[in-house]
Copies of this chain bind each other. A is one copy, B any other.
Amino acid sequence: MSPPVNATAARLFEQHRDLLERAKHACATREYFSPFPETPDRYPDSAAALERGEAAFRALLGQRFDLDQPGEIGHLGGEISPYTGQPLGIDYPRADADALFDAARAAMPAWAEAGPDARVGVCLEIVHALFAELPVLLHTVMHTAGQSYAMSYAGSGTNALDRGIEAIVYAHQAMSAVAPAALWERRFGSATIRLQKRYRLVPRGVAVCFTCATFPTWNAYPAMLASLATGNAVIVKPHPTGILPMALSVRVARRVLASAGFDPNLVTMAVDSAAEPVGKVLVKHPHTAIVDFTGSARFGAWVEQNAYPALCYTETSGVNTVILESVHELEPVARSLATTMHLFSAQMCTSPQNIYIPRGGIDVGGRRVGVDEVCAALAAAYRGVTADPRRAASILAAIQSPSTLELIGSMRDAGARRGSIVVDSGPYAHPEHPAARTATPVLLRVTPTARELYCEERFGPIGFVIETDDAASALQAATSDVRQAGGITAFAYSTREEFLAMAESAYAAAGAQLTCNLTGAMPLNFAASYSDYHVTGLNPAGNATLTDASFVAARFRIAQSRRPVA
């Protein structure tokens, strides 16, 4: 009755069991946890590892990327580094979709049979192997997404892996909650019926995992690992401008699977180009059972509407809102907002975009401060971030897509027409990469009459100060914008407990995760694995949460058999 023992997988499970238990505890308590060092300098054998990583990255450039997966029908590439403006020159195998699905389906039965513990052991080994590859991976993220070195290491590396572990924890818990067998006995009239029952976990099928251009790994790792742990195969569909981080991740996963005695075709990659997109084909493929999507609101909405009969988990985008009602001191608030609105040039799904301020100003430590003065404080804080080019570079990093520069320009012009420019945008000189595509954030000041400008995600370093009638209407406007356009994070500043309580209720109903009165060293939009739920599913910013039970529970089903016993 027990699944066939795969010795390697069983050993991996034992090897990682302590980590699994500690991560499980963290998910339950929501306290801080990570098995990984938070900064590159604390990476094991840091100096040598990081140097080897960079060399390994350089060796990938200008080469054909070896993935050794089925169905190869050509090659494509075309990524350009936001830091150098130069093509990476890497070609990836283009695969026939049917061949990938066939290979994935052929790989699944043995993986399903191996059982939850074996799969979880292998998945945690994939996490460790990805961590071992992080000194290479971080360069692949830098030179496709445009992230800073530090963010590529932490945000796209350790934190993304933590989100992956978290998904494995939830998957393991959901599977462990299902009894493998039972002896059931009941009287029917004068007879006693005694049945031996067996319950099998049956994976849903082939999962397709779409990854985005600016943060490829962060949503991909939890989605991939949730699907894999529950017995499914995964076809990764990377954004055409950010293939390399996922190609490397897919190669690592395939290597670990093969080493553990499983078919590496449990994880494959389907690349495409903007000219010949393959996304809709994958979503509508008759063998697609699960779709995980991170990307634009427009294609995300299409995916949500068209994924059926596949399950669909999305994170798209929204407007992240800030309410200023009253503060003890203005400067630390302005500094935190400015830093966060500069972080990775606001190319994060959690970056704040809209700051709502009562037109009559706000109370600052007992003093009424008008909107002009608040804007001046924000402008000063903006200048503070960019004053030192090295610091600016470490925070702003580079702009992933040329279209973002166009959007900054058109929003700047529209904002100037409909309101005023508080801080203008311009390129900044990156001290290490003179050819880097850069832009400092623009901050525009408008009123609710310009709602069509700000009630939509304006992806990139574009912010709005919106003057509302009063604090209550600020909250009302912000939460109603979240309901309409989606919203993942939200921020409120108030010295009045009753206002914060109102904000907590209003944002809970609107479905944005709220941070109150935070200043200081932590980026306002930092989302901690094991502790912060990411995306509520209550507004158009996505339907899936990292990580709750509903992210994993339907990725497998339960089949049972029963028979009489004496």
Contact = CB atoms under 8 A, between A and B. Distances in A.
Interface in A10-30: 28-30
Contact of A521 (B188, B204, B522): B188
Contact of A517 (B531, B550, B563): B563
Nearest to A308: B305
A54 interface: no
A204 B550 CA distance: 13
B561 A514 contact: yes
Interface stretch (A398-406, A450-458, A533-541): A533-541
Contacts of A537: 554, 557
Nearest to A517: B563
Interface string A268-311: 00000000000000000000000000000000000011001100
A36 to B, nearest CB: 13
Contacts of A500: 563
B520 A193 contact: yes
A432 interface: no
A528 B184 contact: yes
Interface in A37-68: none
A188 B554 contact: no
A514 B200 CA distance: 11
Contact of A518 (B179, B517, B549, B563): B563
Contact of A531 (B184, B204, B518): B184
Contacts of A193: 520-522
A109 to B, nearest CB: 8
Contact of A548 (B30, B178, B198, B518): B178
Given A518-B564, A562-B514, A557 B536 contact: yes
Contact of A562 (B28, B509, B516): B516
A516 to B, nearest CB: 4
Nearest to A309: B304
A538 B202 contact: yes
Given A29-B179, A202-B536, A308-B305, A508 B553 contact: no
Contacts of A316: none
A274 B325 CA distance: 55
Nearest to A182: B30
Interface in A183-200: 183-186, 188-191, 193, 195, 197-200
Contacts of A189: 521
Q: Determine the main DSSP class of A at the interface with B.
A: mixed
A38 B37 CA distance: 59
Contact of A199 (B204, B511, B533): B533
Given A188-B522, A549-B174, A558 B536 contact: yes
Given A188-B521, A545-B557, A508 B202 contact: yes
Contacts of A532: 197, 560, 562
B507 A559 contact: yes
Contacts of A561: 504, 507-508, 513-516
Contacts of A512: 559
Q: Among the interface residues A191, A533, A559, which one has the most CB atoms of the partner chain B within 10 A?
A: A559
Q: Among the interface residues A200, A202, A513, A554, which one has the most CB atoms of the partner chain B within 10 A?
A: A554
A329 interface: no
A306 to B, nearest CB: 9
Nearest to A535: B557
A357 B505 CA distance: 62
A186 B528 contact: yes
A31 interface: yes
A77 to B, nearest CB: 35
Contacts of A30: 179, 182, 184, 197, 199
A177 interface: yes
A230 to B, nearest CB: 11
A23 to B, nearest CB: 15
A289 to B, nearest CB: 9
B198 A504 contact: yes
B528 A563 contact: no
A30 B68 CA distance: 45
A553 B555 CA distance: 12
A517 B64 CA distance: 58
15 contacts: A29-B179, A30-B182, A30-B199, A31-B183, A174-B549, A178-B548, A184-B528, A190-B521, A202-B508, A202-B509, A514-B561, A516-B562, A533-B558, A538-B559, A553-B553
Interface of A: 28-32, 173-174, 177-179, 182-186, 188-191, 193, 195, 197-200, 202, 204, 304-305, 308-309, 500, 504, 507-509, 511-522, 528, 531-533, 536-538, 543, 545, 548-550, 553-554, 557-564
